[in-house]
A and B are shown apart, each in its own frame.
Chain A
Amino acid sequence: MKDLVTHFFDNVSKLSGHLAVVEDCRQITYGELGVLVKKIAAEIEKYGAQPRVVIYLHQGYDAYAAMIATLLAGGYYTPINMEAPLQRHLDVFSQFQPNIVISTKDLSDSLMLTKKDIALIDVECLGSDLLEKNVKSHDLAYVIFTSGSTGKPKGVMIPCDALNHYVEWAINAMKITDKDRWSQHPNIAFDLSVLDIYGALCGGATLYPLTSNKDRLLPAIFIKKNQLTIWNSVPSVIDLMIRARQVKKENFNSLRLLTFCGEPLLFRHVQAIFAANKDAVVNNTYGPTEATVSCTLISLNVDNYHQYCERSVALGTPIPGMKIELINGISPDEGEIVLIGPQLARGYWNNETETLSSFITMQNGISAYRTGDWVVRYKGQLYFRERLDNQVKVRGNRVELDEIDSVLIDIGYKNVCTIFVDGNLYCFIETIQVLDQSNLRSILKSKLPDYEIPTAVYAIDSFPRNANDKIDKKELIQFCCSD
C-alpha cells in the first residue's frame, strides 16, 4: 500500500501542470504545490526529528501544503479551527505543546510564540531550500481535538497507517481521477476535511475550498460555478441548500458523487438530491474521528435509495479491513457499535483514563473502539438510533453537552444542565439570582466555538429531578418546546 505522501508526489510528477487547488483569488498547480510542500518541509526539518506542528492557517492551499509537508518531514500536526475563539486555540496549544507553528506573521501575532519558545514557520516568508526525501516518520499523522466533556478539548491521535488505509480506500472506492473537481467545505480542524484534502490531492483531482461567506451561504451556486463533480459535507449543508431552494438540476447537474458523514442522512436529503440529479451517486458513510473519518459505506442511486431509508439512511457496511460488532444489545440485532481494524486511533492525547474507557480489548484479545452509538439492524442494514452519552451533533459538529456545562461551572454555578432540542442548545442554571445574560454570553463566546453557543440561558429555582435524583431532562425539554 502506497503512503499518501508518495501518492501526492506521484501526482506532482504525472500532473505537474494540472490544477491542484482553486481558490477565489488564486490557484496552484500540482507542480507548484509540490514545490510549496517541499519548501515548508525543508523549514520544518531544521527544527529536529519528528516535530509536533500546529497548523494555524485558514482553509486553503497553504494549510493543505502544511499538512503534507509535516508528514514529509516526519512529523505530526494538529489543525486549528480559525473560526473558534482564541481561548480555544490556547487550550489546544497548552495540551499539544507544539515545537512549531505554521502560520503567517499576522495570524500568529496574538499567540505570542516567541515568549513560549515555539518556532514560527511563516508561509509568506519561506526559504528556497527543498526537502526531497521522506524523512523517517513518527507513527502519528495528526491529532484532531474534539469537544471534551470535561471542558478541555480531547485530542484523537491518528497513526500514519490508519490515515494511509483510509486514503487508499477513498481514492479507490470513489474512483478519483484528474477529471474530478472536488469541494472542500468542512473546516480543516474537522476530520471530514481529510477526505477532501487527501482524497483529491492523492487522487489527482482539483480541490475547490469554499471559504467566502457568500460561497458558504449558497454552496449550490458554488457547485454550479465550478462545475464540481464531487461534493462532500455533513448533511446539514444539504438542508441549507434545500431551504434556499438551490437543490435544482441547473446547480447539481455536474455532480457525479455526493458523499456525506458526521450526522444522520435523511430521506428528504436524498430525495431532493435525486430529484435534482437522477444520475448522481450518494454515498452515506459513518464513523467517529477515532476511526479515521469513516469506516462504513452505502452507495445509493435513484433506483435503490428507498430501500435503505428508515428514520435515517442506513449506515452501510464496513469498508475493507474494518469490522463492526454490536455489544450490550438484548438481541443480536441491536447494540452499541464497536469498531475494529487498522483505522483505529491510538488513543486520546495525554488522557490515559479516557483512552482506557473507550479503547477496549475484546474477549478474543483484539483492540476495539466503543463508539457510544446505539444502532438497530433491520433487513440486514444498520440504522442509527441514539447516543448513549451526552454527545450531540449540532449541524454536524460534535458537541459534548457537558463541555458547555463546564464553562458555566467554572464561573461558579453549581448545578447546570445543557440540553439539545430541535437543533437548538438550551442551558439551565439552578439559581435564585437574576442572570446577567450579556455577561454570560460574553464568557461563553470567549471559550466556545459558535455552534456551541446556546440559543437561550434560563435560570431555574431548582431542577426537576427523577426518582434517582438525576435531573429530569424530559421536563426541561418540555419546557423548551412549550416556550
Chain B
Amino acid sequence: MSNYTFEEIRNIIISFIEPKLIKSDFDKNKLTDETDLLKDGILDSFDFIDLVVYIEDQTNISVDLSQLNFDIFTTLGGFINEVLLQQK
C-alpha cells in the first residue's frame, strides 16, 4: 500500500471544503497553501474536526490531533504536511 502524496491529500481536502467555500463566500481561486482554514472563516471548529475525520475515512491515516504542530496546522499547506507526517 503506497503512501499518499501532498497533491492527493490536497485534493481530498479540497473536495471536503468546496461546499463550505460557498457558505463562507471564499473564492476557490484564492486558495493557497498559506490560507488559514480557521482564521479565514472557511471552516469553524466543528467543520475542522469533521475534515480530520473525513481524511481518516478516505485515507486510513490515523490523525492524532494532540501531536499536531499548532502553529501551522490550520493552514491548508501546514495541515497537509502534518497529515503526511502522521502517515509514517
Instruction: With CB as the reference atom, state the residue of chain A lying closest to B52.
Output: A244
Which residues from chain A contact B25 at a C-beta distance below 8 Å?
438, 441-442, 445
Does B39 reach chain A (CB closer than 8 Å)?
Answer: yes
Which residues from chain A contact B19 at a C-beta distance below 8 Å?
455
Stretch binding the partner chain, chosen from A112-120, A216-224, A284-292:
A216-224
- Total residues of chain A contacting the partner, CB 8 A: 25
CB distance from B49 to the nearest CB of A (A): 5
Q: Given known contacts A441-B23, A450-B44, A455-B23, is B52 in contact with A214 (CB within 8 Å)? A: no
Instruction: Tell me whether chain B's interface is mostly helix, strand or loop, or mixed.
Output: helix
- Please encode chain B, from 17 to 44, with 1 for each CB lying within 8 Å of some chain A CB and 0 for all others: 0010011110000000000001101001
For the complex, give the distance between the alpha carbons of A437 and B46 in Å.
Answer: 24
Tell whether, in the assembled complex, residue A218 and residue B50 are in contact, meaning their CB atoms are under 8 Å apart. Answer: no
For the complex, give the distance between the alpha carbons of A246 and B53 in Å.
Answer: 13
Query: Which of A244, A395, A438, A441 interacts with B65 by CB under 8 Å?
Result: A244
Tell whether, in the assembled complex, residue A453 and residue B23 are in contact, meaning their CB atoms are under 8 Å apart. Answer: yes
Tell whether, in the assembled complex, residue A456 and residue B22 are in contact, meaning their CB atoms are under 8 Å apart. Answer: yes
Instruction: With CB as the reference atom, state the residue of chain A lying closest to B50.
Output: A243
For the complex, give the distance between the alpha carbons of A216 and B23 in Å.
Answer: 21
* Residues from 227 to 254 in A contacting B, C-beta threshold 8 Å: 236, 239-240, 243-246
Does A363 reach chain B (CB closer than 8 Å)?
Answer: no
Tell whether, in the assembled complex, residue B45 and residue A243 are in contact, meaning their CB atoms are under 8 Å apart. Answer: no
Does A213 reach chain B (CB closer than 8 Å)?
Answer: yes
Q: How large is the interface on B (under 10, 10 to 19, 20 to 34, 35 or more residues)?
A: 20 to 34
Tell whether, in the assembled complex, residue B22 and residue A437 are in contact, meaning their CB atoms are under 8 Å apart. Answer: yes
Which residues from chain B contact A221 at a C-beta distance below 8 Å?
65-66
CB distance from A440 to the nearest CB of B (A): 9
Which residues from chain A contact B46 at a C-beta distance below 8 Å?
236, 239-240, 243, 395
Tell whether, in the assembled complex, residue B65 and residue A218 are in contact, meaning their CB atoms are under 8 Å apart. Answer: yes
For the complex, give the distance between the alpha carbons of A441 and B41 in Å.
Answer: 13
Does B16 reach chain A (CB closer than 8 Å)?
Answer: no
For the complex, give the distance between the alpha carbons of A441 and B74 in Å.
Answer: 24
For the complex, give the distance between the alpha carbons of A244 and B66 in Å.
Answer: 10
CB distance from B24 to the nearest CB of A (A): 8
Tell whether, in the assembled complex, residue B49 and residue A213 are in contact, meaning their CB atoms are under 8 Å apart. Answer: no
Which residues from chain A contact B41 at a C-beta distance below 8 Å?
450
Tell whether, in the assembled complex, residue A246 and residue B65 are in contact, meaning their CB atoms are under 8 Å apart. Answer: yes
- Please encode chain B, from 39 to 73, with 1 for each CB lying within 8 Å of some chain A CB and 0 for all others: 10100111011101100000000000110001000
Q: Given known contacts A244-B65, A246-B65, is B23 in contact with A217 (CB within 8 Å)? A: no
Tell whether, in the assembled complex, residue A240 and residue B45 are in contact, meaning their CB atoms are under 8 Å apart. Answer: yes
Tell whether, in the assembled complex, residue A213 and residue B65 are in contact, meaning their CB atoms are under 8 Å apart. Answer: no
Which residues from chain B contact A213 at a C-beta distance below 8 Å?
38-39, 45, 74
Which residues from chain A contact B50 at a C-beta distance below 8 Å?
243
For the complex, give the distance between the alpha carbons of A437 and B23 in Å.
Answer: 9
26 pairs from A and B in contact (CB 8 Å cutoff): A213-B38, A213-B39, A214-B74, A218-B65, A221-B65, A221-B66, A239-B46, A240-B46, A240-B49, A243-B50, A244-B49, A244-B52, A244-B65, A395-B46, A438-B25, A441-B22, A441-B23, A441-B24, A441-B25, A445-B25, A450-B44, A453-B23, A453-B24, A454-B23, A455-B23, A456-B23
Residues of B within 8 A of A (CB): 19, 22-25, 38-39, 41, 44-46, 48-50, 52-53, 65-66, 70, 74
Residues of A within 8 A of B (CB): 213-214, 216-218, 221, 236, 239-240, 243-246, 395, 437-438, 441-442, 445, 450-451, 453-456
Q: Which 10 A-B pairs have the closest CB atoms?
A: A441-B25, A217-B45, A214-B70, A244-B49, A243-B49, A213-B38, A216-B45, A455-B23, A244-B65, A240-B46
